């Protein structure tokens, strides 16, 4: 049986993983994607596994801290392994909805998060507020004055 190679999702890699290049890359992916977007759930605490998922052509790796065996440090190492694969996006499923965990996951370079226990509109609004950056005149973080 032959192996199946997924098409490259982004033609040219961005120079670095900033919020704007990631957003552009995600936008370009949505426009040019001709096959279903396939991602992998990672529940084992091995950053090499993350890199293997990217090498196999997955479009995203969901690093599961809620139900997986990943502590914060290992999850962040997994995100770092994906830096050299611009067509594979890192998503962290945080284990709790605390501002500290969410902001640290985003600061580590995750392209997105999945948060547990969002049961109401107020919970969703609070989550959005926790994800915003002060440097964009929003809430999260500190600016030197």
Is 52 tagged catalytic? no
Which of 18, 67, 125, 136 does the annotation list as catalytic? 67
| Spatial distance between the Cα atoms of 87 and 52, rounded to a whole number of angstroms | 14
Nearest to 134 by CA among 123, 125, 144, 126: 144
- Sequence-distant (≥ 6) Cβ neighbours of residue 134 within 8 angstroms: 140, 141, 142, 143
C-beta atoms surrounding 77 within 10 Å: 18
3-state secondary structure (DSSP) of residue 11: coil
Q: Tell me which residues are annotated as active site.
A: 67
């Amino acid at each position: 049986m032959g192996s199946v190679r997924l098409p490259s999702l982004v033609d040219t890699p961005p120079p670095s993983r900033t919020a704007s290049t990631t957003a552009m890359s995600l936008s370009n992916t949505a426009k040019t994607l001709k096959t279903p977007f396939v991602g992998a759930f990672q529940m084992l605490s091995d950053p090499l596994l993350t890199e293997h998922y990217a090498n196999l052509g997955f479009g995203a790796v969901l690093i599961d801290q809620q139900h997986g065996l990943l502590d914060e440090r290992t999850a962040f190492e997994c995100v770092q392994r994906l830096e050299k694969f611009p067509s594979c996006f890192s998503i962290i499923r945080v284990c709790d909805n605390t501002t500290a965990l969410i902001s640290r996951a985003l600061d580590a370079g995750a392209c997105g998060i999945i948060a547990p226990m969002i049961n109401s509109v107020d919970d969703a609004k609070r989550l959005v507020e926790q994800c915003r950056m002060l440097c964009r005149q929003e809430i999260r973080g500190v600016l030197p004055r």
